Amino acid sequence: MARRERDNEPAVVSEFDENVISINRSAKVVKGGKNMSFGALVVVGNRKGRVGYGYGKANEVSDAIRKGSEAAHKNLVTIPMNGDTIPHEIECKFGGARVLLRPASSGTGLIAGGAMRAILELAGVKDVLAKSLGASNSINVAKATFAAIDALTTREAVYAKRGMAMPEKAPAETENN
């Protein structure tokens, strides 16, 4: 009876979307045969600048995904944004994976592939040019992408760190030379 009551409860709606990037199957050979286990790389994001990733391992795929999702919720970061794009170009490396992220003009779209596309999509970045260089291991690409996100800074943050006041914006010139 208690189980039916739980099944009728409405599901908890989270503000975060979830995406499974990769599932890795590994086998341990033992005397009685092979013991299979699974690892899942999961990304969660609210499409408003918050994103996180997690890796979960278990003997069942669904348990690995659940563990990865829980780890991703614990590792959320905020992406500094400049409109719908990132504030500046950045290149980062993790292991053999190198990623390059470049801001793009409005309307360009999200030009990225694999793990980087899933991460940037769930983060809410709409205009960016991204390239994965080096190794294509999705876990290392995801970690390199998050290293790049952590290294991004806004103009305001740089001025504040240096203890300087933001310069006033110059009025636009009306004459064309």
Mean pLDDT of the 3-14 span: 55
Instruction: Quote the pLDDT of residue 1.
Output: 47
Closest CA to 81 of 49, 106, 109, 51: 49
pTM value is 0.82
Top-level CATH class of 14-74?
alpha beta
Q: pLDDT tens digits for 126-173? A: 999 999 998 889 999 999 999 999 999 888 888 888 888 888 775 655
Q: In this structure, are residues 142 and 21 in contact, taking their beta carbons and an 8 Å threshold?
A: yes
pLDDT digits (tens, 9 = 90+) for 80-106: 988 889 999 999 999 999 999 999 999
Share of the chain above pLDDT 70, in %: 88
Q: Which fold has domain 80-162?
A: Ribosomal Protein S5; domain 2 (3.30.230)
DSSP per-residue codes, 75-122: T-EE---BTTB-SS-EEEEETTEEEEEEE--TT--EE--HHHHHHHHH
Q: Domain-by-domain residue ranges, the chain?
A: 14-74, 80-162
Q: Quick one: pLDDT band at residue 175, thresholds 50, 70, 90?
A: low
The answer to whether 97 and 119 have CB atoms below 8 angstroms apart is no
Q: What number is the average pLDDT over the span 14-20?
A: 87
